[in-house]
Each structure stands twice: as structure tokens, then as C-alpha cells.
Chain A
Amino acid sequence: MTLPSGLTRRDLFMKIGIFLNGIVAVILGVPIVRYLLSPVTHERKGSYESWVALGSIQQFPSGQTRLATYRDPIVSPTDGDTADIACWVRNVDGQRFQVFAINCAHLGCPVRWFPQSSLFMCPCHGGAYYQDGSRASGPPERGLFEYHYRIENGKLLIRAGEMPTPGQASNIVREIKPCA
């Protein structure tokens, strides 16, 4: 049977079949793509970050830089130890603090603090930073990433939850001006 337009019955059904499958592909494709993109378009719009406590400010004596750890604000049951994150807390003068990410601003390796020479050094590619987090030498193009902090009821809190990387750092952590 041929329809007036010259389209055969078979062609018509073939086209309807393709069209139907196209609709099904969209109906299934949209949730699949949304599922795949969920780490980017996560439910709690805005930020992965929240305020976490690093402990009492008594733990961080004036003029010293100490390692602190916190549990990531978003934890899933399979995270194990990976949800425990370290950071460096510098008590500048008893009043002001600086909290640095453990990750080198070059490629994210863990920097270590050397109190004798007041330097942070990175074991990977040899980046070095002064005690205020500014870049001293090596491949990093900027200073250490710094968390926002506040003190509440004698406790030191930082705004944390996302691994700082060179690309996103400007959104979430304060940029440190290099030493003049």
C-alpha cells in the first residue's frame, strides 16, 4: 500500500519505529546523564563545604605551626581513612591564625613543616613556602592554599570539604599574596 505522498506503509512504520526509539533514548538518557554528572551538579547546591572543628585553640600554641586533622564534612560509609584530612595550623600571635591545606599548590603532594628553618617543603617536586604560606621557591606558581577560619567557644573552625587544586582554589580559598 502506498500513501498519497509516495511513502510506503513499511517506510512509515520504520520511521515511527526510529522515532519511538529516539524518544525512549531521551527518556532513559536524561536520567543516566544526570546520574553521571551528579558529582558536579550535586544536590546541595552551592558548595561541598561547611565549618568543621579542628579542636580547642589551646592545642595550637602562639607562634607555632602544628599539624591538625579533621573528618571531612561529607562522609560515605566506604571512605575509610580517606575522609580524614590533615592541615597545618599556624598561630600567628595568639590572636590571628592561618590554616593551610596540606596539598602543595603545584600538584597536591603533602607538604611538611620544618620549624627549624620555618619552611614548608614538598617532597615531590621540591616546592618550598615560607611560614606565612607564601611561595619561597620551586615549581608552585602561588602560595599554599589557605582555609577560612573562625573561633567559636574556644574552638578553631575552618571552612573545608573540597580538595584544593590550582584550578578551583580561587573560588574556595583565599589567595595569598607573595611576600614583598
Chain B
Amino acid sequence: MRLIASIGEWLDARLQLGATIRETAEHPVPRETASWFYVFGSAAFVVFMLQIVTGIMLAFIYVPSAGEAWNSLQTLNHNVSLGWFIRALHGWGSDFMVAIVLIHMVQVFLFGAYKFPREPTWIIGVFLLIVTLGMAFTGQVLRFDQDAYWGLGIGASIASRVPVMGPSIVNLMLGGPIIAGATLSRFFALHVFVIPGMLIAFVAVHLLMVVKLGINEWPMPGRVVRKATYIKDYHELVKKDGIPFVPAAVWKDMFFSAFILLSVAACALYFGPFGPSGPPNPTIIQTAPRPDYFFLWLYAVLSLLPPSMETPALLIGPVVVILGLLLLPFFFGEGEKSWRRRPVAVLTILLVSVALGTFTRLAGNAPWSPVMDAWSGDPIPPKFLHNRTALERQGALVFQVKQCHNCHSLDNEGGKRGPALDAVAVRLTQDQLIRQVIQGGGNMPAYGKNLSPAETTALVAFLETLHPAGQSPARDASRAVALAPDAATPPSDHP
């Protein structure tokens, strides 16, 4: 023991680090901040450490070459002892990291921690969010499978819409004219060198500012931030009622971080690594690319926006959001910190989280995507075929063969791109059905050129049977009159 102590003393006499570390660790923090609400920042940091360690582990095996990356992932999954587990840790770690960074941001926002004098800490935090999302996207590309390949195509298609610069940005992003070897190499450089370097630098400054300026005190309704008095008040608070960060507050951070790391490990163990899905061969087109979890909301937004609004939303939206976040502390740098006195802040968080949650959930089953094999894979439920005439059954066949089922569901089977047709006969008359089939419209292609008159007649006959029992199909009241052979003849129900 004495030997270790004397080695320590020898080192410290030369390195001169001990006093700084002790001072930093024991710096006083306001008593109420030793709270379970203040653990998210440190948890994000710990998950980032996990990502660095597992990322380096993966780089031992991974080959950043478009021709070999997918094979090296298979090697990791199947041929390297516990390679699958390291991949799973890294993949789940990334999801946890994005989630914790977002939760941390919400907590900081609701506790008013971005206000004077911590504006730069918040701004660096916004940069940290952006680079964290950058890591998530570039990481998804390094899992060089079908989703990564077509995901890059989507990224390029979005980037190409920038006015004037678009095509150049695409070439710069892909490292050439197409998604190929150079693309993966540059995303590897971004994911492994450039963005982590930025992350480490930003984290260092972020932490330094937290230590130098002191952690945000627990917001009390009525305790208002004023630039003239805040720093004096904060120092008095810390002097009067401060506790050393280590050990008084740090144990909660340690408990939570351990819990998060265990959760990542549990998810990795139980759910396993992400993919890879099919090989990145662009001639295999039987694929329906999906983004990773944290970009699902974007997938939904891009499907649901009206086409004409898409490009403006894609190009202006991110700028507005990022500028808004960056400028927030300058517009609201003083005033109430407590969420109890900031209803607009609480409503903003609620609105944003409900919107993102809804879009993410919608994207989980993607009702806007046609079910590409419904026409051959999902049969028409028997109840729609019982007691039908030959013509109506022929129409059901047309319904399948012409891929109507890919976009229209019957009894919840098939695509949801168009309306469900279980009760279409109640909504549309025979004439309206014929018109809709032939001319399309309302986001449906026109089938006039692709259906013979006989096929159209059969299809419409089938569609007319689609109404709930006891509810009669829609009828055009004037039809009987118009079709009557003689105006003098009273109209009959069955022309």
C-alpha cells in the first residue's frame, strides 16, 4: 500500500493533476440538484464511451469497402466469437444514445437551464444533438446492406433538391456520380474520424462549461433569472446550501448509468444485432427500404406531405428548427425557469413529442406503402365470394390480377395506400365506381387503358357487392328514370 501511495505521490509531483481532479470532482453543487432529474447528461456520456469502445472493437474486423463490408458484417455475426454481441451493443447503444440525448435536452429545456449565463452550453448541446444524429445516420450507412444503399439514395435525392448547389452536393456526398465504393469510404471516415472528433471536442467544452458555470439550480417558481444579479445569487446559493458533487450527488449518476448500460446489454442480448438485411446489390430490386428507428418520423413526414410542399419543407424545415434552437437562449435568456410558470414551454414539448411519436408509430406499419405482393399473396377473404354470381367472381379475379389489392384492403388484408373497400358500394354508385376505375383520380392511377370493357364490367360488379349486410348499396335515384325505355313508364327498381 505504501509503495502505491509513494508512486502516486511521485507521479503527482510531476504531473500536477491531482489537485485539479480533486477540485473538479468536489466542486460544490446546489443541494437539490443531487436529483434523479439530473442524471441524463452523465448517462449520455457513459453510453458515448460504450460506443467508442464497441466501435473500436468492430473496426478490428469491419472492412470499409463496398465490395466487402457486407461480408465482414456476416463474419462478425457468425464467425467471430461474440462478434454479434459487440455489434448488438453498438447498435442498441446508438438508439439509447439518441434517446438519452433527447431526454436530456427536454429536461434542460423544461428546467430553464439554457438561460443566462449558460447560453453557450445550450448551443454546444444543440451541436451535440446534430452530431449525434449524424453518427446515427452514418452508422446506418456503415451497416452496408440494402437499407443502407437505398437510404443513401434517399439522402441523395433530398440533397439534390437544394437550389443550384444540389447536384454538386450529391456528388460530394456520394464521392462520385453513383453510390459505390467511394461513398462507403467517405461515410466510414465521417463516422469514425470526423464526427467522433467533433463529438469529443464538443463534449469537452460542454462539460468544462458545466463545471465552470456550475450546474443549473433546481428551478423554483418565482425565482426569476436576471442578468444583473443571477451570478451573485447562484454563488450565494452554492455557498449557503452546496454539497460536493463527489460523493454527494454522483452516486445517482452512477446508479442510472449502470442501469442504462445494463439495459443496452439486455437489449443486445435479447434482440441481437441490427441486420444486416440483404446484400447491397442494386440489381436486387425486391426490397422495401426502411430507415432506422430515429428517422422513421421523417419517413412518415415525407409520405404524408403534399408533393408541392415537400421540397420547401425539407430545405427550410431543418434550418428553422436548428436556428430556433440556437436562438432560444438569446430570446428567453431571462425570466422564470420553472416549468410550472412556463406553459408554452410545456405545451411545445408535448406537441413535439406527440407529433414525433405519432409519425414514428405510423411509420411502423407505413400505410402509405403499397403491399407489393398482396395481389399474389393475400387472397380475397371467402366471405366476399360466397353466393356471388360468375360475373362478380370474375371481378374478384380482376381485383387480384390488376394489383388493386396492393393498395386497397379487404377485411384488413392488403395495402392501405388507398381506402379500404369493404363497404365501397355504400359510398359510390355504379357510375361513380366505373368513373373512378377508368379515370382514377384522388391519388389513384387511371385504369382505363389497362382494363378491357369486360374486365371493367366484372370488376365493378364485384365492387358493387362490397357493402355490409343490411346496408343497401348507393344508388343514383335519377338513373332509373334516365334509362327507362319510355318516359311514361313508371320507374322500376331494377332497370
A168: interface (CB < 8 Å): yes
- The answer, yes or no, to whether B247 is at the interface (CB within 8 Å) is no
A137 on interface, CB distance cutoff 8 Å? yes
Q: Which residues of A contact B445 (CB under 8 A)?
A: 119, 128, 130, 136-137
Q: A112-B285, A118-B449 are in contact. Are A163 and B156 (CB under 8 A)?
A: yes
Residues of B with C-beta under 8 A to A108 = 150, 153-154, 156-157
- Assuming the contacts A109-B154, A137-B445, A139-B307, asked whether A102 and B302 have C-beta atoms less than 8 A apart, the reply is no
For chain B, the count of residues having a C-beta within 8 Å of the partner chain is 71
For B181, give its contact among A39, A76, A128, A138 (CB under 8 Å).
A76
Separation of A49 and B287 alpha carbons in the complex (Å): 27
Any A CB within 8 A of the CB of B308: yes
Q: Is B176 interfacial (CB 8 A cutoff)? A: yes
Interface residue B179 (Cβ < 8 Å from any Cβ of A) = yes
Question: How many whole Å from B222's CB to the nearest CB in chain A?
Answer: 50
Docked Cα-Cα span, A79 to B66, in Å, equals: 5
CB neighbors of B among A70-94 (8 A): 72, 74-86
Option from A48, A102, A112, A126 in Cβ contact (under 8 Å) with B407: A126
Mark contacts of A104-120 with chain B using CB atoms, 8 A cut-off: 1 yes-contact digit, 0 otherwise: 00111111101011110
What is the chain A residue whose CB lies nearest that of B401? A116
Which residue of chain B is the closest to A75 with respect to CB atoms? B180
The answer to whether the Cβ of B175 comes within 8 Å of any Cβ in the partner chain is yes
- A99 CB to nearest B CB, Å: 15
Whether A77 touches B181, Cβ cut-off 8 Å, given contacts A116-B402, A165-B167, is: yes
Residue of A nearest to B376 (CB): A116
Decide if A40 touches B370 in the complex (CB within 8 Å).
no
* Nearest B residue (CB) for A68: B283
Residues of A within 8 A of B449 (CB): 118, 130
Are B402 and A117 in contact, CB atoms less than 8 angstroms apart?
yes
Q: How far is the CB of A159 from chain B (nearest CB, A)?
A: 12
- Choose the segment among B97-105, B116-124, B274-282 that binds chain A (4+ C-beta atoms closer than 8 Å): B274-282
Cβ of B18 to closest chain A Cβ, rounded Å: 36
> Interface SS of chain B: helix, strand, loop or mixed?
loop
| Chain A interface SS verdict (over half) | loop
Contact present for A81 and B303 (CB under 8 Å): no
CA of A74 to CA of B282, assembled, Å: 16
Min Cβ gap B228→A in Å is 40
Q: Is A11 an interface residue (CB 8 A)?
A: no
Nearest A residue (CB) for B185: A78
- Chain B residues closer than 8 Å to A76, beta-carbon distance: 180-182
Pick the residue among B167, B181, B370 that contacts A82 (CB under 8 A): B181
- Residue B258 interfacial (CB < 8 Å): no
Contact A163 B440 (CB under 8 A): no
A82 CB contacts on chain B under 8 angstroms: 66-67, 149, 178-181, 183, 280-282
CB distance from B278 to the nearest CB of A (A): 11
- Least distance between A120 CB and chain B CB atoms (Å): 10
Chain B neighbourhood of A162, CB < 8 A:
177-178
B362 on the A face (CB < 8 A): no
Complex Cα distance, B305 from A138, in Å, reads 11
Bound-state CA distance A118–B440 (Å) is 14
Q: What separation, in Å, do the CA atoms of A169 and B402 have in the docked complex?
A: 31
> Which of B52-60, B158-166, B350-358 is near enough to bind chain A?
B158-166
Interface contact A117-B450, CB-CB below 8 Å: yes
Whether B457 sits at the interface, judged by CB under 8 Å, is: no
A17 adjacent to chain B (CB < 8 Å): no
Is there a chain B Cβ closer than 8 Å to A32's Cβ?
no
Say whether B463 faces chain A, with CB atoms less than 8 Å apart.
no
Q: Which 10 A-B pairs have the closest CB atoms?
A: A80-B67, A167-B160, A167-B166, A78-B181, A136-B445, A108-B153, A165-B160, A168-B167, A48-B177, A123-B288
Having A81-B66, A110-B287, A163-B153, one finds 5 other A-B pairs with CB under 8 Å, namely A76-B181, A82-B67, A117-B403, A118-B449, A119-B403
- The contact sample of 10 A-B pairs, CB cut-off 8 A, is A72-B177, A76-B180, A80-B68, A81-B67, A82-B281, A109-B153, A118-B449, A123-B372, A125-B369, A138-B443
A residues at B contact (CB < 8 Å): 37, 39-40, 42, 48-49, 67, 69, 72, 74-86, 102-103, 106-112, 114, 116-119, 121-126, 128, 130, 136-141, 161-163, 165-168, 171
